[in-house]
Structure 1
Amino acid sequence: MARRARSLGWHGNALLVRRDIEWTEAHALDLPMIEPRGAVLAELALDGKTIRVLGTHLDLSGLRRSDQVKALMAHCAERPRMPTVIMGDFNQWGRHTGAMRVLGVKWQVVTPGASYPAARPVARFDRIVTTPDWDLLEGGVHHSATAARASDHLPIWAELKLHKKRAIA
């Protein structure tokens, strides 16, 4: 939810986790911003392994987007190394341009398809970014009338599988 009195509306991030998955940590993260955008971080126990998941909504203007990605990377670097997935609205046109360049080669970028605007999607702003611990099995954009009414973005999804051997990033 919005944290500043002068906010231009309600903003926030949420991670929805199945009941059978245990969360061990959860934090709201402040990111460098003009508008109140941020991220949420959770560490989850899944099949005997701990994974990190972040949901984010980056700067619309582009003025702070690279700083925000750097802040996400710093939050991950401050914590123990583990398989990580970052997902959300990156507000970045190119898959390897602008703020996406901050990710370097240590992160995999999944762009399942055009998801914005929901009524007639042409832009691929919504992405899933992973450490090399993951294989992408499948991914896509969920198209439905209900999804198009719920948000100005269509939901994206990916089926990921952890490598049996842990990659080193």
Structure 2
Amino acid sequence: MLKVASYNMRKGVGLDRRRSPERILDVLCEIGADVIALQEADRRFGARTGVIPPHLLDERSDWKAVDFGMRAASMGWHGNAILVRKDATISWRAPIHLPALEPRGAVTADVTLLSGERLRVVGMHLDLSGLWRRRQAAAVMAHVDAAPERWPTVLMGDLNEWSAAAGCLKDFARHYRFAATGPSFHARRPVGRLDRIMVSPDLQVTDCGVHMSAAARKASDHLPIWANLEAVG
């Protein structure tokens, strides 16, 4: 069994308008996932510096950031980042360029945990426009399908989809199953299921939810979501 999580961390700016990477790490430590997809993990302007400094991640957590080699100061690509346990092995990683009117991207990595579980992870933050979301969903799935080797796959992120089962959700559902995590936005009073975890047929979700601690309700305008996964068969 392994645990995954997804978190739109809003560039570390909480509902008190204070930027605190330490608070984001506190929330992630409460969840204790093996693999984490982050959205809005980099600052928006300039060098797109990662919100969580590398030394802070190293000193105060059990994770390391997957290096996608796109921008020296960034944690990921267009704000998308993947954290894995420090003892995990990364055998492949890549940015995914998404069609969009404004800069958008996704990231993917093949992760082998110390316990031997293998997982292909995709982290994404899709567009506000429904038409572009569907194009981006198609691009993500095409990228996964083009990989030379099949791995158990989990797709995670902020899909920006308010509908219950239409748009890009309908597209993803043709090939992936959704974890029933629940509403995660807005953190103060969650009503929207904008954040999603989806798994390939060779994985099953044994438990899942929305992390609603006091720290999480203040650290971002989104709440983190999580799921426990097991291989089928």
Question: TM-score by structure 2 length?
Answer: 0.63
Q: How big is each residue's C-alpha offset from its partner over 1:117-138, in whole Å with a ceiling of 9 and x where there is no partner?
A: 1111000111101100111110
Q: What are the equivalent positions in structure 2 for 1:35-46 lying under 5 Å apart?
A: 35-46=102-113
* Aligned residue type for 1:84: T
Q: State the 1:149 CA deviation.
A: 2.6
Counterpart for residue 22 of structure 1: 89
Residue correspondences, number:
161
Deviation at 1:106? 2.3
What residue ranges of structure 1 are gaps of 5+ in the alignment? 165-169
1:84-137 per-residue CA deviation (whole Å, 9 max, x = no partner) reads 000011111234211112124321012301100111100011110110011111
For residues 115 and 52 of structure 1, the distance between their equivalents in structure 2, rounded to whole angstroms, comes to 24
Is 2:229 aligned against 1:121?
Answer: no
Higher helix share: 2
Describe the shift of the 1:120–1:49 C-alpha distance in structure 2 as closer, same or farther (beyond 3 A).
closer
* Structure-1-length-normalised TM-score: 0.85
**1:10-54: CA deviations, max 9, x gaps?**
950111101122111122221111232221101011344532001
* Aligned-partner Cα distance in 1 for 2:81–2:174: 27
Partner secondary structure for residue 143 of structure 1: coil
Structure 2 portions without partners, runs of 5+: 1-41, 52-77
2: CA distance, partners of 1:3 / 1:25: 26
- Structure 2 CA distance for partners of 1:3 and 1:122, relative to 1, 3 Å: closer
What CA deviation, in whole Å up to 9, does each residue of 1:30-85 have, x standing for no partner? 11112322211010113445320011110023230000000000110110221100
| Inter-CA distance 95–82: structure 2 relative to 1 (3 Å threshold) | farther
Question: Contact 1:108–1:130 at 8 Å: present in 2 too?
Answer: yes
Q: CA RMSD in A?
A: 2.2
1:139–1:41: structure 2 CA closer, same or farther, 3 Å change rule?
same
* Paired-residue identity, %: 46
